[in-house]
Amino acid sequence: MSSEIPLPPGEREQWAESARAPIRIPDAVQPHGAMLVVDARSWLITHASENTGRILGVGPMALLGHPIDDLLDVVTRAAIENALDPDSNAGNPVSALLAERHFDVIVHRSGGSLTLDFEPHEATPPGMIQATRATLRRLARLQTVEQLWAWAATELRKITGFDRVMVYHFHPDRHGEVVAEAAADGLESYLGLHFPTSDLPASARELYLTKLSRQIVNSHRAGVALLADANQPTAWDVDLGLTELRAVSPKHLKFLRDMGETSTFSLSLVLNGALVGMIACSHRTERRLPFDIRDGLELLANQVSLQIGSFQEIERLGQRAEAQNLHAALVTQLSREDDLVDALLHQHVTLLDLVPADGAAVSIGGRTDTLGTVPPRDVLARLDQALAQAGVETRLVTHSLSTEYPELSQPMPTVAGLLVKRLGGAGDYLAWFRHEQPRTVRWLGDMTPSHDSNSRRRSIAVPTWTQDVGGDSESWHGLEREARELARDLQAIMLQRAQSQLAELALHDPLTGLPNRRLLMDRLHQELAHLGDSEQLAVLFIDVDQFKSINDNFGHPAGDDALIHVARALTHSARSGDTVARLGGDEFVVLCTVASANDAAKLAKRTLAALSAEPAGSPGWRVSGSAGIALAGPGSDASHVLSAADAAMYRAKVAGGGLASM
């Protein structure tokens, strides 16, 4: 089924608006902790959150412009430097004691600055780390992506204690779907609901690729201002994207409150550099996870992402192996059958086995045949031309024909999905057709045009909005690759056959189908080379008597009939191992392998009798001929042998016809 869903009304505009939100450089921090920003070279404090007096015991005005050493002892300063050293085994968090309070200090580089998040230390609940490790070990037991999603929701709720844990899957068009959920009793389920793209704008998606977890401690508490040293002209250019305390926009806080969520914690699911999903935890009251647990859960989320990738790769490889087997069977059928169209549509393996669809059509060499449910014949006859007019050079792949190619959809109203591979420019093609697959999508919140991004914000009291989606077929999901590779091999077979036919024409007479002079001389050379010491062969040279008078009296078509008559008579008279050839005009040759003079003479008389035994044309005229025989043994020259037979035939003709030998 296609995962792309038409955007609800106004959603594209909401996405563009939300993408402009400057979420990396806010002017506030979450109030449960305090933030300092210091210059990376001088270690002077350039920024301080307004609540440092309450949290750290020293007000912001007493900190701005001063060295960090005025606040931190030597041991803590050294620990921060170690945490910043990429070659050190140390890392976040750094422990600090200020105003008789223990803090977890999380430090990051941000351009030429260092950001320091001071979070009041909170002891890790007993068993939480062990539970996280045990969960990691149980990953190997899972068999499918669906199991993994459900498992992640259940296990994360056990570890974190949040009221609700949801797993989002992001579809190719960037909208989200809740694919797994674990929730406390009494909470409304969001499982299966879709969320619009603008709920997670582009700027946030980019950030979640590097900042893999995000905690919002209390949606009911506004952020506190991040103050800057007035002597720093570029103070507000500090990127807070990687910090733990970066503030939340008032709109998002309201969104959380409308959803009944006070605290949230999210984890990014990143695969091959793309954000493929998220794990979202929410709680109705304030709940904060210690940094060590958040950091460990990032590792767990990374393992979930890797496992998703592993499942997808296993599935892809399985599907690829099956497709390769079907492809090989089709190519085998193509190589064995003279009728390529029949080999693709009516043998053991068909186009619909390789690329599942409602119908398929093949057009090769002006012949079109079908399998399954397809458009009318007259439409198929014009399909290649219609594709060319639509600007489709080699292939077309769409699951929404009416939207993407309305000019093609009009004559095919029942077709929603179309996959076509054109075979060169001669009107040949392979095509697959799929019907519409209507479905219903449930969105959380009212997505009608009258509700903008603010008024439609969801809450527990807001019902779901149902969208009926039609006009699309099931997505082709990469099957265009199978179509492309089959078309490539089919074209190679067609080219090989065309070349073979050309080679055959180059060695045969087009009128009679007999070997021509070139092929005759090749075989004469070979036969002479393989003769034994006591063996010989014979060359019988035949010329039609008075052939010019046939053309003059009855016309050239009658002359062609006479030549075909001679070819047929010679073929019927010759032995099974002999070669009958037409040199050109009215001259024919029979190459008699391993023949004596007596054998050759008998064959010549039999052949001349056969020429005149039956009428050669509709007026009833008969054909006669003159023949000459030349014998040759090992080491003879092929050209000389043929010339000798020609000379013998000429003597017979001068003598009034019949047979002459050298």
Query: What are the pLDDT digits (tens) for 616-652?
Result: 666 666 788 889 999 998 889 999 999 999 999 999 8
Residue 372, Ramachandran bin (φ over 0: left; ψ between -120 and 50: alpha; else beta): left
How confident is the model over 304-321, as a mean pLDDT? Answer: 90
pLDDT score recorded for residue 128:
78
Residue 78 scores a pLDDT above 80:
yes
How confident is the model over 537-553, as a mean pLDDT? Answer: 85
pLDDT score recorded for residue 17:
47
pLDDT score recorded for residue 621:
66
pLDDT score recorded for residue 462:
46
Count CB-CB contacts under 10 A for residue 469.
Answer: 15
Residue 305's alpha-carbon distances to 71, 80, 276, 282, in angstroms, are 41, 31, 8, 21
Residue 134, Ramachandran bin (φ over 0: left; ψ between -120 and 50: alpha; else beta): alpha
Three-state DSSP string of 18-54: HHCCCCCCCCEECCCCEEEEEECCCCEEEEEECCHHH
Q: Identify the CA nearest to 163 among candidates 144, 133, 184.
A: 184
pLDDT score recorded for residue 59:
95
pLDDT score recorded for residue 585:
87
H helices of 365-478, in order, are 377-381, 383-389, 401-404, 406-409
Residue 234 scores a pLDDT above 90:
no
Count CB-CB contacts under 10 A for residue 85.
Answer: 11
Backbone φ and ψ of 28, nearest 5°? -155, 165
Burial of 291 (0-12, 13-18, 19+ CB in 10 A): buried
pLDDT score recorded for residue 456:
46
Residue 420 scores a pLDDT above 80:
yes
Percent of the chain with pLDDT over 70: 89
How confident is the model over 79-104, as a mean pLDDT? Answer: 92
Instruction: Kindly report, residue by residue over 348-402, the tens digit of the pLDDT.
Output: 999 999 999 999 999 998 899 999 999 999 999 888 888 888 888 788 899 888 8
- Helices 291-336 and 128-137 cross at an angle (nearest 10°) of 10
Which pTM value belongs to this model? 0.69
Residue 117, classed as helix, strand or coil, is strand
Three-state DSSP string of 316-382: HHHHHHHHHHHHHHHHHHHHHCCCHHHHHHCCCCCHHHHCCCCEEEEEECCEEEEEECCCCHHHHHC
How confident is the model over 495-523, as a mean pLDDT? Answer: 83
- Name the residue type at position 109: R
Residue 459 scores a pLDDT above 70:
no
Which of 92-96, 435-439, 499-503 shows the lowest per-residue confidence on average (mean pLDDT)? 499-503
Query: Model confidence at 50, in pLDDT bands (50, 70, 90)?
Result: very high
Q: What angle do CA 264, 156, 266 make, to 5 degrees?
A: 30
User: How would DSSP label each residue in 80-115?
Assistant: HHHHH-TTSS--SPEEEEETTEEEEEEEEEETTEEE
Which of 593 and 291 is assigned the larger pLDDT? Answer: 291
Query: Model confidence at 526, in pLDDT bands (50, 70, 90)?
Result: confident
pLDDT score recorded for residue 3:
44
Average pLDDT, the chain: 85
Interatomic CA distance for residues 127 and 339, integer angstroms? 70
Count CB-CB contacts under 10 A for residue 624.
Answer: 14
